[in-house]
Amino acid sequence: MHPDSQLDAAYWQQRYLAGQTGWDTGGITPPLRDYFAQLGPPDARRILIPGAGRAYEAEYLHRQGWPNVWVADVATAPLQSLHQRVPDFPPQHLLQQDFFRLAPTPAYDLIVEQTFFCALDPGLRPAYAQQCAHLLQPGGTLMGLLFDTEFSQPGPPFGGSREEYREYFAPYFDFVHFDAATNSLPPRRGRELFMCLRKRAQ
């Protein structure tokens, strides 16, 4: 978290308590569900969902049988929601921690992004890309959705463009896919990039 940021744990916790969670889709979104479907059968891969909120992706993967799904969020309310919805989700995999302070050992194989990047102070974007690379194994994957649009209201969410984002990720990742999502939820259609980036060995 940025030391000067107003977007701290208290801010996000208050948004959940006040029900001001317009980003919350109430379930897994089609681009993530379709991506997970082609991962093959569950195995020991370590999957991290940072800024996970209520973490419907973690619920989905857990119910599919993936044993190593980790969820990080600074706010307690959404983690409690996951715990209540999925009581057998391993409590030690619920990390109430700042993403930027997560430890890289053991490294993760896959990081899943959805409306976390756009919720951060835009000044943190280079650090986000660096931390994702730091947390992943060489060859590990950062995948998910980024908004490829500007918003008329002050953020969060903060918008941007794929050209801008490329600069943050290019130092660490090869671009497997970085193009308009084809299966976004209707309110996000035409405004989302689907990203699949592979961490380079060095």
Ligand X SMILES: C[S@@+](CC[C@H](N)C(=O)[O-])C[C@H]1O[C@@H](n2cnc3c(N)ncnc32)[C@H](O)[C@@H]1O
| DSSP conformation letters of 55-71 | -HHHHHHHHHT-S-EEE
Interface with ligand X (CB under 6 A), residue from 119, 127, 185, 196: 119
Asked if 174 and 142 touch (Cβ cutoff 8 Å), the reply is no
Q: Which helix (H) or strand (E) holds 34?
A: helix 30-37
Q: At what angle do helices 30-37 and 56-64 cross, to 10 degrees?
A: 30
Which residue has the CB atom at the shortest distance from ligand X? 53
Query: Looking at 84-92, 95-103, 126-134, 171-179, which segment touches ligand X (CB under 6 A)?
Result: 95-103
CA distances in angstroms from 105 to 46, 52, 113, 149, 189, listed in the order given: 11, 20, 20, 35, 36
Neighbours of 147 (CB within 10 A): 20
Q: Is 127 in the site for ligand X (CB under 6 A)?
A: no
Q: Are 125 and 158 in contact (CB under 8 A)?
A: no
Distances (CA, A) of 59 to 8, 65, 161, 174: 25, 10, 30, 29
By the rule CB under 6 A, 115 interacts with ligand X: yes
Does residue 108 bind ligand X (CB under 6 A)? no
Q: Is 78 in the site for ligand X (CB under 6 A)?
A: yes
Closest distance to ligand X from the beta carbon of 32 (Å): 9
Cα(5)–Cα(96) distance, integer angstroms: 18
Smallest distance, Å, CB 31 to ligand X?
12
- Contact flag: residue 151 with ligand X (CB under 6 A): no
Q: Which of 72, 110, 129, 195 binds ligand X (CB under 6 A)?
A: 72
In the complex with ligand X, which residue's Cβ is closer, 41 or 154? 154
Out of 51, 168, 192, 195, name the contact with ligand X by CB under 6 A: 51
> Applying CB under 6 A, does 24 fall inside the site for ligand X?
yes
CB of 41 to ligand X, least distance (A): 25
Does residue 47 touch ligand X according to CB under 6 A? no
> Cα(91)–Cα(181) distance, rounded to whole angstroms?
33
Select the residue interacting with ligand X from 52, 110, 129, 146 (CB under 6 A). Answer: 52
* Positions in the binding site for ligand X (CB under 6 A): 1, 12, 23-24, 50-54, 72-75, 78, 98-100, 114-116, 119
